[in-house]
Structure 1
Amino acid sequence: MVAKHTPVYVPTDGPEGWRQFLADPIKQWKNGCSAKELAYSWESAEGFPFEIAATLNSHPAFDSLEILFAVPEYKVPLPGGGRASQNDLFVLARHADGLAVIMVEGKASESFGPTLGEWRAEGSSGKVSRLAYLQSVLRLNGGLSDSVRYQLLHRAASALIVAERFHAASAIMLVHSFSIDNRWFDDYASFLNLYGVTAEIGVLHKLLEDPQPHLFCGWVKGIPVAR
């Protein structure tokens, strides 16, 4: 069963307004933690944060993207259980060729969570159906390695699911990292390897061609700004 979600969203009154939507507003809202850094980075920017714009501009299809709106802690319902994929930030943008859906995952010292092997260790029919659904959305056939991070699967799938909902031609998943040493980049690179793509920092990679929506992924090195 897919969890229900409301289509009504409330505007923020600044970066501190993001805090209320976190699973743990006390533990997750600290300087150096990705949730707070992400909020201050995006709220203080005029449009896209500089490093985000630079990564998007690395691909010729997105050199004129304009933000239409952005929603923090955006939940995308998935089958196979009641828990949705809670994306740190959903951005709907437009460019010359139409709409683009962007899902942003903030990272600092936090990992991408359990590996696929750890997640499915306690097997259930719900997990089997959810994984099959994610693989269908991501167009990944065959068995997946236990070392793949489960979070990257459902975050990328979220971008594609919402892109279809908005009839957007492009779905983009960005990791906005505030880690000085790009911690967890290897996990991101392993995910891109599923598509035969070699990951680079600051580069937007195209993972899926036709049929639309096309899927792109990028690792963005952020600039900590929270105080």
Structure 2
Amino acid sequence: MRRIYSPTVGAESWQSLLADPVKHWRTGYSARTLAHCWEAAEGLPPEIASLFGADAELLIAIPEHKVSLRDAGRESQTDVFALVKSNNRTIAVAVEGKVNESFGPTIREWYVDPSPGKQQRLALLCDLVGVKCPPPDDAHYQLFHRTASAVIEADRFKTDDAAMVVHSFSPVNRWLDAYAAFLNLFGVAT
């Protein structure tokens, strides 16, 4: 994983950072929509700023930020990793963009006949996010590793807090129920 980041020159700069720059860079899909939104905001997009308070300030945003999950498995590629300052606190924020795409496989689908590596990863993710292992079968695996990314980066950057935010552009709140179920694991209601 590289540790040197270069500034963007607009939304189009984000395309080359994608796992599949052709497939994932389409009008109406999250990667492109998120890039245009964040670039146009020149700071925190208003809907994200509102989550952190009136004085929320974007310190840095890194598109398609890869985070090692402290095991031999694949890194978690966060759509946007941001350091946000609010109320004299610094927050490590993992942002997952969505339009109509799902959160991918559920734990049940991802954990079929788990290898020792998958068993180790799931235990690690649950430990990092503070959820009993194994988590509910219908929870989405992606939400666990994105949240763990925020926790890991909060530790690495010595921030006060960590947050995982889904930046949704769905006009019909698609997948809100899946996100709400995930938040419910932490006693958070939507």
Q: Which TM-score band (shorter chain)? A: over 0.9
Q: Which residue of 1 aligns with 2:154?
A: 163
Of the three residues 35, 38, 57, the one matched with 1:42 is 38
Within-5 A mapping of 1:46-125: 46-57=42-53, 63-125=54-116
Separation (CA, whole Å) in 2 of partners of 1:19 and 1:87: 14
Q: 1:98 Cα deviation (Å)? A: 2.9
RMSD across aligned positions (CA): 1.3
Q: 1:71 Cα deviation (Å)? A: 0.5
Q: 1:49 Cα deviation (Å)? A: 1.1
**Residue 59 of structure 2 contacts residue 85 of structure 2 at CA under 8 Å; is this kept in 1?**
yes
The 1:160–1:9 alpha-carbon spacing in structure 2 relative to 1, beyond 3 Å, is same
Q: Which residue of 2 aligns with 1:6?
A: 2
Q: Which residue of 2 aligns with 1:152?
A: 143
% of aligned pairs identical? 48
Separation (CA, whole Å) in 2 of partners of 1:80 and 1:41: 33
TM-score after normalising by structure 2 = 0.95
Q: 1:135 Cα deviation (Å)? A: 1.0
Separation (CA, whole Å) in 2 of partners of 1:124 and 1:163: 29
Could you list the runs of 5+ residues in structure 1 that have no partner in the other structure? Answer: 58-62, 200-227
Q: 1:7 Cα deviation (Å)? A: 1.2
Matched residue type, 1:26: V
Separation (CA, whole Å) in 2 of partners of 1:190 and 1:81: 29
**Residue 80 of structure 1 contacts residue 125 of structure 1 at CA under 8 Å; is this kept in 2?**
no
Could you list the runs of 5+ residues in structure 2 that have no partner in the other structure? Answer: none
**Residue 80 of structure 1 contacts residue 127 of structure 1 at CA under 8 Å; is this kept in 2?**
no
The 1:135–1:94 alpha-carbon spacing in structure 2 relative to 1, beyond 3 Å, is same
**Residue 111 of structure 1 contacts residue 184 of structure 1 at CA under 8 Å; is this kept in 2?**
yes
Q: What secondary structure is seen at the aligned counterpart in 1 of 2:152?
A: helix
Question: Which structure has the highest helix share of the two?
Answer: 2
1:197 matches 2:188: yes
Of the three residues 11, 18, 37, the one matched with 1:22 is 18
TM-score after normalising by structure 1 = 0.80
The 1:71–1:6 alpha-carbon spacing in structure 2 relative to 1, beyond 3 Å, is same
**Residue 12 of structure 1 contacts residue 18 of structure 1 at CA under 8 Å; is this kept in 2?**
yes
How many residues end up aligned between the 2 structures? 190
1:128 matches 2:145: no
Q: 1:143 Cα deviation (Å)? A: 3.0
Q: 1:169 Cα deviation (Å)? A: 0.7
